[in-house]
Amino acid sequence: MIFPKRKNIQTATREQLIVVGSKNPVKVNSTSKGFHKIFDEQHFIVEGLNINSQVSDQPMGDQETYQGAFNRASNAQKTFPEADFWVGIEGGVEDTGEEMSAFAWVVILNKAGKIGKSKTATFILPEAISKLVRGGMELGEADDKVFDRENSKQESGAVGILTKGAVDRAKYYEQAVSLALIPLSNEGLY
């Protein structure tokens, strides 16, 4: 089988601007790394903005989490329309029977009006954390309380803590950013 050659979105060598709908350094860095891996010959400037997701502080369920990611990307586009790409990353949780799983959605919009989207892998949260989240606490706050940390959501996050660093939050998001870029990096197929 012959695969089409990967095309860069633009052939010009100018730096392209990516706006991430969050100032969280993990989300900004994972976006930068994901873009640079997929478009290795392009030059990017990646900036984070405080953008409202217009969903709950702790999204519950797949749909609300996706909507938060989409809203972040869309609102970033409205806030800074001069950019080339807009990225929304939203972490969420979902009850699955007696257990609670965690995941994130990534949505990427480009100037041509295309959309890329991907969801991270899911993992089961410990009951101590799930209980706090069900009680109204954000996942990051629950992690901090259970593991006696501060601001873990801007560092390793639950996935990093629970895997003892084997899967850190930045790489976790980076993979989803790369996957969300599939329709944007394979123009002839999508």
Q: What is the pLDDT of residues 4-48, one digit of tens each?
A: 444 444 444 689 999 999 999 999 999 999 999 999 888 999 999
What angle do the packed helices 139-147 and 127-134 form, to 10 degrees? 130
Under the banding of pLDDT at 50, 70 and 90, the label for residue 55 is very high
How confident is the model at residue 28, as a pLDDT? 97
Whether the pLDDT of residue 96 is over 70: the answer is yes
Q: What is the pTM of this model?
A: 0.90
When the candidates are 1.10.10.10, 1.10.1670.10, 3.40.50.720, 3.90.950.10, the CATH number that belongs to 17-120+168-185 is 3.90.950.10
Query: If you average pLDDT over each of 6-15, 54-63, 146-155, which comes out highest?
Result: 54-63
Residue 173 neighbours by CB under 8 Å, 6+ apart: 26, 27, 30, 31, 34, 89, 104, 106, 120
**Domain spans, the chain:** 17-120+168-185
- In whole angstroms, what is the distance from residue 57 CA to residue 85 CA? 24
Pairing assessment for the beta strands 44-48 and 16-20 based on DSSP bridges: parallel
- In whole angstroms, what is the distance from residue 116 CA to residue 184 CA? 6
- Residue 187 is assigned to a ligand binding site: no
Read off the tokens for 150.
């501060």
pLDDT single digits (tens) 171-180: 999 999 999 9
Mean model confidence pLDDT for the chain: 92
